[in-house]
């Protein structure tokens, strides 16, 4: 399944002639920390895709956020009108076609709503996974927007503003 997931992402990115830009590693990049270490960037630049249970239709909602951001339950409820409930690993695989550790907004099994959190906007480029637990691609925010067919930029995260202030203060 992992190979097919990576292949679905490669096929998706081929539309923009970017499939050859997918990086594959010998080491795992399945978590923000592992991905940052293997790529050689700060964890915040990892674009993590978080899968939530949709409200009525059972369709997942994907939020792509910076690696140092955490979902703010109140902001999420205000944005979507329901409580954020993450999918189980089996549900993530069923909805996205990607296993946890390789979830990304590309080459999805189902037509899901993708939203990009503004926590990503402070970076020129970010690194989302590419369907496997040892792959990623470097994209600008505009490329991430285009390739993911995101519905909107939203503000549903917390924690990253403080990290940004600490970084600027150093």
Task: Encode pLDDT of 127-164 as tens digits.
Answer: 999 999 999 999 999 999 999 999 999 999 998 876 55
Residue 166 reports pLDDT greater than 60: no
pLDDT band at 57 (very low <50, low <70, confident <90, very high): confident
Question: pLDDT category, 170, cuts 50, 70, 90?
Answer: very low
Q: What percentage of the chain reaches a pLDDT higher than 70?
A: 92
Which range (38-52, 70-84, 96-110, 148-162) has the least confidence?
Answer: 148-162
116 lies in some domain: yes
167 domain residue, yes or no: no
The answer to whether residue 47 is domain-embedded is yes
- Residue 7 placed within a domain: yes
Longest dimension (CA), the chain: 46
Residue 23 zone, left/alpha/beta (φ > 0; ψ -120 to 50; rest): beta
pTM of structure: 0.91
Decide if 138 is inside a domain: yes
CB neighbour list of residue 56: distance below 8 Å, 6 or more residues apart:
none
Count of structural domains, the chain: 1
- We report the CATH number of the domain holding residue 44 as 3.90.960.10
Does some domain include residue 102?
Answer: yes
Name the residue range of residue 141's domain: 2-161
List Cβ neighbours of 150 (8 Å cut-off, separation of 6 or more): 64, 105, 114, 115, 116, 144
Kindly state the tokens that stand for 55: 């409200």
**In the prediction, which pLDDT does 116 show?**
98
DSSP state of 122: G
pLDDT of residue 38: 96
Q: 46-52 and 70-71: which strand pairing?
A: unpaired
pLDDT of 3 reads: 52
Residue 85 inside a domain? The answer is yes
Average pLDDT, the chain: 91
């Amino acid at each position: 399944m992992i190979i097919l997931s990576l292949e679905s992402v490669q096929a998706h990115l081929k539309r923009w002639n970017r499939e050859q830009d997918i990086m594959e590693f010998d080491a795992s990049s399945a978590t923000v920390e592992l991905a940052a270490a293997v790529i050689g960037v700060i964890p915040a630049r990892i674009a993590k895709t978080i899968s939530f249970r949709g409200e009525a239709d059972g369709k997942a909602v994907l939020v792509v956020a910076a690696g140092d951001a955490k979902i703010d339950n109140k902001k999420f409820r205000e944005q979507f009108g329901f409580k954020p409930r993450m999918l189980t690993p089996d549900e993530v695989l069923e909805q996205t076609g990607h296993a946890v550790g390789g979830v990304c907004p590309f080459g999805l099994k189902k037509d899901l709503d993708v939203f990009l959190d503004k926590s990503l906007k402070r970076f020129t480029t970010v690194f989302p996974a590419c369907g496997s637990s040892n792959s990623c691609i470097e994209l600008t925010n505009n490329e991430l927007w285009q390739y993911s067919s995101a519905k909107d930029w939203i503000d549903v995260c917390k924690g990253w503003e403080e990290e940004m202030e600490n970084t600027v203060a150093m």
